[in-house]
Structures are given as C-alpha cells and as structure tokens.
Amino acid sequence: MATVLLVGAMIMLSQPGAAYAAANASTVGVVDYQLLVNQHPDMQKAIDAVHDADDQAKKDFADKSVGMTDQQKQDLGAQLGKHMDQVRGDLLKAIADKVDAAVKQVAEAKGLTIVVPKSFVIYGGTDITADVLKVITGK
C-alpha cells in the first residue's frame, strides 16, 4: 500500500500540472459557517431563551442561597452554571444541525463532495454561503 502511495506521489511530482488540474476540477465547497449560524432565523429566539434561562438561574441562586455556607453557594453556582452551559449547547446544536442540513442540501445539488469552513481555505473551492443562506432564510 505504501508503495502505491509513493508511486502516485512520484507521478504527481513528475507532472506538476496534474496536481493543479486535479485541484481545479475539485468538488470542494466553502461556507462562512459563523455567518450562517448568526443569520439563522432561530438565532434571536435562542439568544432570548439563553437570556431568560440566565435570569432564572440568577433568581434561583438568590432564592436558594439564603442561609448557605460559602461552599454550598459555590456548589450551587457551579450546578447552575453547568445547567446554563447545557441550555446554550442544546440551543446552538439545534441551529447548527439546521445549518448542516442546508449545507448538505446545497452541496448535493451542486455536486460538491466536501464542504469546509471558508476560514480554512487560502485559495479555491466554490463558495456556497449565499445559496445556503437562501435555503436557511427561505429568501
């Protein structure tokens, strides 16, 4: 197996244009993933839900910490913090799953075999961010 890879590499090196041609025929897509997540229609609802959960956690801490020792307050704070992390994670995962599905839909329609974040790419690839955004927003 290593011999086959070595021979393949030697052939590519002996024909510099072959690597360039292969890259140009690439089926790699790129997306601005952060933009897609931030522009998702559910993002504002998620932000509002996190703020509400944070307000509730602060209220719970104030109500439950009365009469507690410093260690108990610290433990309660850690427990509420862990709950907040879970809330944030669940809300963001739901949005990321929807973005991923839209990326997959657009990539398949365009015949792309791989899509990577735009920030990972120095040169090349087909930017499908606008097309994915249209799927996400319905516009």
Within-domain flag for 80: yes
**pTM of structure:** 0.72
Please count the structural domains in the chain.
Answer: 1
* Residue among 96, 122, 110 at smallest CA distance from 23: 122
Amino acid type, 25: A
Our CA angle for 50, 52, 54, nearest 5°, is 65
CA gap 107, 95 in Å, rounded: 18
Residue 67 in tokens: 């009469």
Within-domain flag for 133: yes
Whether the pLDDT of residue 14 is over 50: the answer is: no
pLDDT tens string 29-39: 999 999 999 99
pLDDT tens string 37-93: 999 999 999 999 999 999 999 999 999 989 989 999 899 999 999 999 999 999 999
User: What CATH number should be reported for the domain holding residue 111?
Assistant: 3.30.910.20
Q: In which domain, by residue range, is 87 found?
A: 27-137
